[in-house]
Amino acid sequence: MLVLRTKTFLEVQVPQKKTVPRIARLTQNPWIMAGLSLILGLAVSWRVGLLETERRVSEARSQTINDLAAVRARLEYIPRVSRQFSDVGP
pLDDT tens, position by position, 40-59: 999 999 999 999 999 999 99
Domain range summary for the chain, segments of one domain joined by +: 22-88
Whole-angstrom Cα distance, residue 31 to residue 70? 58
What are residue 5's phi and psi, to 5 degrees? -110, 125
Q: How many CA atoms, within 13 angstroms, populate the side-chain half-sphere of residue 45?
A: 6
DSSP state of 12: E
Whole-angstrom Cα distance, residue 77 to residue 81? 6
Q: Which residue ranges of the chain lie beneath pLDDT 70?
A: 1-20, 79-90
CB-CB contact of 15 with 1 (8 Å): yes
